[in-house]
Amino acid sequence: MSVVERAIDKLRRNEPEKNKTGSQPAVPRRDVVGALVGSEPVSSSGARIAVNRQSLREAGYMPEEQEDRRFAEEYRQIKRPLLASAFATAAPAPQPNPRLIMMASALPGDGKTFTSINLALSMAREKDSSVVLVDADVAKPHISRIFGVDAERGLLDALADPALDVNTLILQTDVKGLSILPAGAVRDGATELLSSARTSQVANQLLARHPRCVALFDSPPLMVSSESRALAVAVGQIVIVVRAGHTPRNAVLETLDALGPDRSISLVLNQGRRSMGERLYAYGNYGDYGDTKKDGPF
């Protein structure tokens, strides 16, 4: 597994002839691996999410226990450049803030939510920083459902109500350094909300709670969702998950072109072969965004 900075030149050099094939819709998972429990008031809501790691493994959102050491090292390789950019002090503070990191993919089924969860858990292990995992996939709120908080107020509620402090909606977990902001109540006009100036205000409120806090946004696939493109404007770093042998090169190239040349974009290669047929990691299915066409796998 690796973070490949500015891979567009490589993609263009290796772009194959188009070979269109249909893809099968993914089967939505219904596994819930967390739940709100009564606890000391560790967040403004007074609630805490109990994270069941074994259930995460069984549901396909974490690697098998014997793979923990290898996965830990691979996710260190992903998070290090992201955190270095997030907390860089040499350059003037850019806008948008690089502590706002968007997790995306070109198309469904590339392993984005798996990567978001495991990257957030890895970032939470840092001694001097914390991470808020934000469910920004407002049409299909996988993170909220997985952790059993899909009925809680969250991101969309904060965007819709200027008087609402988003920090009062953040839910702490029993994993030190990790908290979760649910997607919130589904409503019409989600794209317009995410496109509004309020999004940047809410995003920066997340960072104001602590100078070493990172917000990690799990967003919809960029090629099939207007919400994700709206959110991309407000974040300082974008990570695109690419599934080896599956994600079409054209889809990745079009995604990079749509984001523009001046963005901080990293690619994470999912299921790339290392040696002797070994896969870098596996992942579950996270819902169906509809049938898609692919032009030559990456």
pLDDT digits (tens, 9 = 90+) for 281-293: 333 332 333 334 4
Structure tokens at 124: 């939470």
Domain parsing of the chain, residue ranges? 3-87+94-295
pLDDT of residue 146: 94
Q: Where does the chain show beta strands of DSSP type E?
A: 3-5, 20-22, 34-38, 47-51, 100-105, 130-135, 171-173, 178-181, 213-218, 237-243, 265-270, 293-295
Residues in the chain: 298
Count the neighbouring beta carbons within 10 Å of the beta carbon of residue 224: 16
pLDDT of residue 295: 52
Mean residue pLDDT across the chain: 79
DSSP letters, 94-121, are PSS-TTEEEEEESSTTSSHHHHHHHHHH
Distance CA 248, CA 86 (A): 30
Q: Of 23-32, 81-90, 273-282, where does the model show the most confidence? A: 81-90
Lowest-pLDDT choice from 107-111, 239-243, 249-253, 275-279: 275-279
Structure tokens at 129: 């920083």
Distance CA 207, CA 205 (A): 5
Question: What does residue 10 show for φ and ψ, rounded to 5 degrees?
Answer: -65, -40
Q: Above 90 in pLDDT, residue 32?
A: no
Q: What is the average per-residue pLDDT within 194-222?
A: 93
Q: Above 90 in pLDDT, residue 238?
A: yes
Distance CA 25, CA 292 (A): 8
Q: Above 80 in pLDDT, residue 140?
A: yes
pLDDT band at 125 (very low <50, low <70, confident <90, very high): very high
Nearest to 202 by CA among 169, 165, 170, 149: 165
Q: Taking a C-beta distance cutoff of 8 angstroms, is the pair 59, 51 a contact?
A: no
Q: Taking a C-beta distance cutoff of 8 angstroms, is the pair 45, 53 a contact?
A: no
Q: Above 80 in pLDDT, residue 92?
A: no
In the chain, how long is the greatest CA-to-CA distance?
A: 58
pLDDT band at 6 (very low <50, low <70, confident <90, very high): very low
Is the pLDDT higher at 21 or at 103?
A: 103
pLDDT of residue 270: 78
pLDDT digits (tens, 9 = 90+) for 55-71: 998 888 888 888 888 88
The CATH number given to 3-87+94-295 is 3.40.50.300
pTM for this model (two decimals): 0.79
In this prediction, what percent of the chain has a pLDDT beyond 90? Answer: 51
Q: What is the average per-residue pLDDT within 147-170?
A: 95
pLDDT of residue 85: 93
pLDDT of residue 40: 35
In this prediction, what percent of the chain has a pLDDT beyond 70? Answer: 73
